[in-house]
Amino acid sequence: MSRKKTLSGKKKIALMIGATALVGGTVIVMTGTSNASAACDGLAQAVRNNENFIAGQRANPDAQSEARIANREAVIRQINLQQEAAGCAKGSGGGDQAAASAQPPADGGQAAGGTGAGGDAAGEVVCAGQNLTFSNDGGAPAASSGQFPIGTQLKVTNLANDKTTTVEVTSTSGSCALLNAAAFEQVREAGKNVIREVRIERLGAGGGGEAAEPPAAEQPPADQAGGGDQSGAAGEVVCAGSTVTLSGEGGDPAASSGQFPVGTRLKVTNLDNDKSTTVEVTSTSGSCALLNNAAFEQVREPGKFLIRNARIERVG
């Protein structure tokens, strides 16, 4: 007669606890590895974006290319330090295949054409909770962005009047999305220069093109202090490469930002006329820095609604 071995209740409980701890430890290790991998992939993609931008500037240089390239090389050096600290392989990593996998697919497919209404096309909602304004640039309807690369198709819907336009990102700005004058006219409410209730969807991206300005987390800390305004204050240069426009809001000189908390003090210098103003961030917007009407008047050039050559410093 065979004898069947049995385990006491206490031994069964001990075995179950040990197994649970082993599984839990495996989950923790796998989760940590997954998070680290995602972080490394993001840093590698940021390096690739900047390398592509530099290559484009060298292939088609202009008067500002040298300065732009120097800025992007500084960005890459900063990212390399972040990669080293995170234990990632330094550099751009997995090449084109990794770059392709880093791009999330658009839900609604590619939009047809770069202008006009978006029809029934739908995509990934982006720039959530941000206001939308315009750059006053001429030409066919288009957008600029500091988040999406040139060639990206964006569908913009003004929820206050249900007007929609689909445009292509054709240049870089300091905003998540900034419409030119023609595109803004397609969705604006009469007499209003800012859209507060807006839905922005990414429908797709065109082939190639230069990368947009990297997000703030990838910007290197600036070593240099800018020139003084009336207060003589100088601080850390931020929003590198960003353009500055106005929100259409009234009140005392102030700024809004999607990057800096309310209460932050920013010094904005228009390098084309050397005018400066120091303002406090009082609200949130989709831009790194967006001036209200009174602040913009202090630094603007007559007849212009966009400052392309700006220096922004955080002074408090």
For the chain, the C-alpha Rg in angstroms (whole number) is: 24
pLDDT score for 215: 41
What is d(CA 173, CA 170) in angstroms, rounded to the nearest whole number? 10
- Out of 1.20.1340.10, 3.40.50.410, 3.40.50.10490, 2.40.40.10, the CATH code matching 216-314 is 2.40.40.10
Query: At 61, is the pLDDT very low, low, confident or very high (cuts 50, 70, 90)?
Result: confident
Query: At 295, is the pLDDT very low, low, confident or very high (cuts 50, 70, 90)?
Result: very high
CB 238 within 8 A of CB 146: no
Mean pLDDT calculated for residue range 20-39: 46
pLDDT score for 121: 57
pLDDT score for 5: 54
Contact residues for 275 (Cβ-Cβ < 8 A; gap 6+): 269, 298, 299, 300
What is d(CA 193, CA 196) in angstroms, rounded to the nearest whole number? 10
pLDDT score for 9: 57
Hey, where are the domains in the chain? 9-102, 124-205, 216-314
Phi first, then psi: give them for residue 216, nearest 5 degrees: -60, -35
Q: Which residue has the higher pLDDT, 1 or 226?
A: 1
Mean pLDDT calculated for residue range 104-129: 52
67-96 residue pLDDT tens: 777 767 777 776 777 778 778 876 554 333
pLDDT score for 157: 92
DSSP characters for 180-191?
-HHHHHHHPPTT
What is d(CA 264, CA 163) in angstroms, rounded to the nearest whole number? 34
Closest by alpha carbon to 138, among 181, 108, 169? 181
Buried b (16+ CB within 10 A) or exposed e, 271-281: eeeebbbbbeb
pLDDT higher than 90, residue 56 = no
Mean pLDDT calculated for residue range 165-187: 87
pLDDT score for 89: 75
- Out of 2.160.10.10, 2.60.120.330, 3.40.190.10, 2.40.40.10, the CATH code matching 124-205 is 2.40.40.10
Strand order, beta sheet including 124-126 = 124-126, 198-205, 152-158, 163-172, 143-145, 178-179
Mean pLDDT calculated for residue range 102-130: 52
Query: At 268, is the pLDDT very low, low, confident or very high (cuts 50, 70, 90)?
Result: very high
Task: Indicate if 216-314 has the same CATH topology as 124-205.
Answer: yes
pLDDT higher than 70, residue 24 = no
